[in-house]
A and B are shown apart, each in its own frame.
Chain A
Amino acid sequence: MATALKIKNLTKSFGSLDVIKGLSLTANQGDVICIIGSSGSGKSTLLRCINLLEIPDSGDVWVNEELISMTKNKRGEPCPADRKQVDRIRTKLAMVFQDFNLWTHMTVLQNVIESPVHVQKISKQKAIEHGHDLLTKVGINEKATHYPSSLSGGQQQRVAIARALAVNPDILLFDEPTSSLDPELVGEVLRVMKSLANEGRTMIVVTHEMGFAKEVASKVVFLHEGRIEEQGAAKDVFNSPKSERLKQFLASNLEA
């Protein structure tokens, strides 16, 4: 089975604060990996290092067995060696953000077809057709000509998922996709994410939604202070946690 994603010995600090301290992770095709942990444990940073929204200080990232080549810039700081490679790899790694980040000056449909048309050079007709299909899939096609500001949080996030799917990614990255949503709207987004998982998509999800992780994840990774404290199949991690910290984390998170 092909490795969709491989991370080896990733480190990242912000100034004097070490956020990720040597982390390795592998994801196979079809894996749904949920990353959990308390705030500051480095979950979001890890995700953002994968698509290079943050530049790792050291370590290697392979996407679909292709290594993202890094080098050092004029100031001696690490930076990507090939911008075009980064752009190309990013289309295999679409990300869904906590704050949705839909482009406010474009309609819902325009948001979805933007990258296919301008980055992947797909014909506008095809992109629009595909866009409508995806919007129907996430259940929001009737709002295709609306602007994001007229949609609720849950609707915006579903559009964001459609936008991510539109580039035909190999791996979907989710950065706390439901943390900004009102409780009633969380469900509709999780439903979409569940159906994606059932289709066999490779997903890496940073989340606080333990119920979702328990139900859908093929692997759960518990991060603590920038290192993987424990990882394993969902039922093992949740039902029989081995580390003390994980037990404490689960106790304080599941009583809510």
Chain B
Amino acid sequence: MNIDGICASLPKEYLGLKVQLMCNSLPKLLLGIPLTIELVVISLSTGLVLALCIALMRISSSRLLNIVSRSYVFYFRGTPLLVQIFLIYYGLAQFDLIKESFLWSFFRDAYWCGILALTLNTGAYTAEIIRGGLQSVPHGQIESARSMGMSGILLYRRVILPIAFRQALPAYGNEMILMVKGTSLVSTITLMEITGIARYIIAKYWTPVEIFLIAGIIYLFINYLVTRVVRYAENRYTPYLQANE
């Protein structure tokens, strides 16, 4: 399969867009997908664990833990992801203390800074989703379980958590898509995921609209897959909620 051969058969320009160039750039952009997926998967999974800890801190009786978790969520939901990324990557480099410590090998690497920023960001939003899910469990369901003698961990495991999970599914599906989109921001700190590669190609050929269009289509496709996965999960776990198509 000769990509150049296939692309050469396309017209050079169509509707003002350099179609041949778009076709040639496609394989290069596709090379960015592994990094994008990697960023998404690592930050979502680490973020989920973090969010669970934050959620536990939130409902704990310790005032300190409460304040810490609430401030964390407040900060990361109240500021743009871009600021969070820049602060970690550019901001921390201001301090000699960090530059001279063992942490520097972590913080000077755009990859780790990106993962950290994405993880912290999704951690805050996911913590709120978990909190929302737990709160939206109808009281009646809990009371009926309690009235049968269920309590403590059993109550959580068999009634509260399964229901909270199902309530939170749509919101978490949305968060997954937001994370896929969020990875494009790490292109601003030199990471070569899809958007990063796109910007590199554009700097070379100066065809921003064409390249960003292709990149956009790639993201649409990835998000489409994510949406399908979420819908499958919704159908499997909440079949009673799905509208009759």
Verify whether A and B have any Cβ pair under 8 Å: no
